Structure 1
Amino acid sequence: MIKSETPTESEVKPLRDLPEVSVVVPVYNEVESISLLIEAIALSFASSGRSYEIICIDDGSKDGTVDLLRSLALQRDDLIAIFLRRNYGQTPAMAAGFNYAKGQIIISLDADLQNDPRDIPLLLDKLAEGYDLVSGWRKHRQDDPIKRLLPSKIANWLIGRVTGVKLHDYGCSLKAYRAELIADMKLYGELHRFLPALAFIEGAKIAEIPVNHHSRRYGKSKYGLGRTFRVLMDLLTIWFMKTFLTRPMHVFGFLGLLLMSLGFVLGGYLTFLKLGLNQSIGDRPLLILVVVLFLTGLQLFCFGLLAELLMRTYHESQNRPIYRIREIVALSAGERGKGKG
C-alpha cells in the first residue's frame, strides 16, 4: 500500500512485530548510496539472530531517492520508508524515525555510506553492558582536515566543556540508544548532535567506542560552516536546560536581585549626596545607571517568576516528572509479609 500522507502506526509496522532493533536512517539526495546501505545493514544482522527493522526517512529528496525507496519498501519486509513533505533537516527526520521505531534498541546512522553498518554489532554489545547510549567515535575520520575536521574538533571540545559530557565525536550519527531513553527526549532545531547531552540530562549512562569511517563515495556533503551559528544557539539551549531547567528562578532571580541591590546601594549614595551634602545629582550619569540597574533587575526577577510558571506548566501538563528512575528493587508483597514475622 502506498500513501502520500504521513503513515499511521499500523501502516509503518514491519512484518516482524516488535523487532529488537530499529535502525533509523535520515535520507536526503542519496539515490546512489541507499540500496547499498540497506543491504549492508541487513548483512550486519544476518549472523546475530536479532530481529530488526530499517526505517528510512526521506527528507524531501529531489534526485530519485523517493522512487527508489518506495520501490525497495514494496520488496523488502525489513524496510519502512517514510516520506516527509519537504526538506525539514536532519533533526526532524531523525525525530520522525524515532517516533515510528518499534524496537527496544534504536540505532541511528547516516545514509552516505561513511558510517559502517558492520559496527552495529559492536554498539549493541557495548549497550548490553548496561549503558543507555553508545556513541560512535570516528577515530580515523576520512574528511577534509580544514573544512570538516578542525571545526569538528573545536565543536567537540566546546560542547564537552559546556555540557559536561566529554566525548571525542559528538557529530558521529552512528549511535545506539535504548528506546525508553529516546521516549524521554524531544528534538528541535539542530539538537540531534546533542543527543548525548540530552541523554545525560535524563540521567543516562553513556559510552563511546571507536568505529570505522569511510570517504564519501557518492554525491556531496550536506554539511557546511553555515550551520555553526545554529549549533552555537542550540548549545546555549542545552546548557540552560542542563543547569536551570527545573529552577529558572535561581538564575534570573539571582541576577535580578543582584542588579536591584546594586541599584539600591548606588541610589543610597546619591541620596546621601543630595540630602546630606546638598549636592546636585540631576546631571550625574550615575543617576541614569541607578534607574537602569533597578529596572533591569526588576525585569529579570519578574522574568524568573514567569519562567518558573512555564516550567511547572511544561512538567505538569505532560505529567512529566523532574526525576528519572533507573531501577526499582523490592521484595514481593508476600516476601515482605514473611519478613515481619
Structure 2
Amino acid sequence: MDRISIVLPAKNEAAALKTLLPRLRAAQPDAEIIVVDDGSTDDTREICAAAGVQCQSSPYSMGNGAAIKRGARAATGDILVFMDGDGQHDPADIARLLARLAEGYDMVVGARDWGSQAGVGRGVANTIYNWLATRMTGHVVADLTSGFRAVRASRFREFLHLLPNGFSYPTTSTMAFFRSAYPVAYLPIKAAQRIGKSHIKPLRDGMRFLLIIFKIATLYSPLKLFVPASVVFFLLGCLNYAWTFIHEGRLTNMSTLLWSAAVIVFLIGLVSEQITALTYRRDA
C-alpha cells in the first residue's frame, strides 16, 4: 500500500494550524505530515511539536515554492499531498483526491469554484490562466493555480529543478506534467475563507501574475505563443506598407521594422522550443 506524505507550507499560520493539524491527523491517521515553516515568527514550531507533527524550519523566508521543494525532499511517502496551511482546504477532501489518483492519474488537483476564489480580481485572473492553459495543452485545465493536489512522488521530483521559489509552483508543476504526458485530473472542491492575513499583495505581485501567462506558454510549447505574435508583426508590416504605398508610393522604415520584428520573434520561438525540449529530456 502506498505511503502518504502531506506537505503544508506555512508562514505565520499558527492560528490556522492549531485547528487544522488535529483535523488532518484524524482524517489521515497513517499519513506522514510535514509542516514546512517558511521563516515564521509566531508559534508554528511549538504547535507542530504539540501535535506530534514534523516541522521543517527555515531561518528566514524563502518563498512558498521553496517550502514545497523542501517538503518534497523531506517526504518519505510514495504519494505527496500538498495543501495550504491557512485552513482553506478541507482534510476530508484528501481521500477524494487519493481515490481519483488511484484510477491511474499521476496528479489530481482540487479545483475551486468561483465562490472559493479569493476576490473578484483573483477569480478573473485564474479564469484567464485556465483558459490559456487549456488552449495550450489541449486538455481542460479547471484550476491551474490551486495549491491543493495529490501527486506521485517519483513524478513530482522530476521537476523540482523547474519549480520557482515563489508562489507559481502550481502553474509550473501542472504544465510540466502535461508536457511530459503524465495524466492530470481535476476534482471539484470548496475552499474556505483563509484564517489570518494573505501573504499575496496585489501591487507587488501584479507583475508576477502577468509573467505566469508567459510561463504557461514557455513551459509547454513556446511556438504556440511566439508564432501568433510573429504573424501579428508581419501583418502589421504588410498593412503599414499597403497604406504608405497607396498614399506615398514608397516603403517606409516602419514596415521594415515590423517585418524584422516578425522574423526575430519567430526565431526566438524556435530557440525557446529547443530549450524547452532539452529541459524535459530524460536521460536513459
TM-score range, shorter chain: 0.7 to 0.9
Do the aligned residues in 1 keep the contact of 2:217 with 2:225 (CA within 8 Å)?
no
Structure-1 residue corresponding to 2:199? 222
- Provide the C-alpha distance between the structure 1 equivalents of 2:276 and 2:199, rounded to a whole number of angstroms: 34
Residue 43 (structure 2) aligned to one of 46, 64, 67? 64
Aligned pairs for 1:77-156 (under 5 A) are 79-139=53-113, 141=115, 148-156=118-126
**1:161, distance to aligned residue in structure 2 (A):** 1.5
Q: Provide TM-score, normalisation by structure 1.
A: 0.64
Question: Cα distance, 1:250 vs. partner?
Answer: 5.2
What's the offset of the Cα at 1:124?
A: 0.4
Q: Is the 8 A contact 1:23 1:54 kept in 2?
A: yes
Matched, 1:37 2:26: no
Over the aligned positions, Cα root-mean-square deviation in angstroms equals: 3.8
Structure 1 residues 228, 198: CA separation in 2 closer, same or farther (over 3 Å shift)?
A: farther
Distance 1:123 1:86 in 2: 32
Distance 1:63 1:319, change over 3 A: closer
CA pair 304-82 structure 1, distance change in 2 beyond 3 A? farther
CA distance in 2, matches of 1:313, 1:210: 35
For residue 182 of structure 2, the aligned residue among 183, 187, 204 is: 204
2:187 counterpart letter in structure 1 = I
Equivalent in 146, 161, 164 of residue 131 of structure 2:
161
**Structure-2 separation of matches of 1:303 and 1:117:** 46
Counterpart of 2:253 in structure 1 is: 291
Query: Quick one: distance in 1 between partners of 2:261 and 2:217?
Result: 22
**2: CA distance between counterparts of 1:259 and 1:321?**
40
Pairing 1:236–2:210 present: no
Question: Displacement of 1:310 after TM fit?
Answer: 6.1
Aligned pairs for 1:175-190 within 5 A: 175-185=149-159, 186-188=162-164, 189-190=166-167
CA shift in 2, pair 1:190/1:300, >3 Å: farther
What's the TM-score, normalizing by structure 2?
A: 0.75
Residues 104 and 232 of structure 1: is their aligned pair in 2 closer, same or farther, counting only changes over 3 Å?
same
2:263 corresponding residue in structure 1: 301
* Match for residue 52 of structure 1 among 26, 31, 40: 31
Query: Structure 1 stretch 299-308 or stretch 158-167: which is displaced more?
Result: 299-308
Matched, 1:22 2:26: no
Structure 2 gap ranges (5+) = none
**Aligned AA (1:187):** L
Measured after TM superposition, the shift of residue 261 of structure 1 is: 7.7
Inter-CA distance 131–299: structure 2 relative to 1 (3 Å threshold): same
The number of residue pairs the alignment matches comes to: 273
Of structures 1 and 2, the larger Rg is shown by: 1
Deviation at 1:122, TM superposition (A): 1.2
The secondary structure found in structure 2 opposite 1:136 is strand
- Percent identical pairs in the alignment equals 24
After superposition, the Cα gap between the structure-2 partners of 1:80 and 1:293, relative to the gap in structure 1 and judged at 3 Å, is farther
Distance across 2 between alignment mates of 1:85 and 1:308 = 42
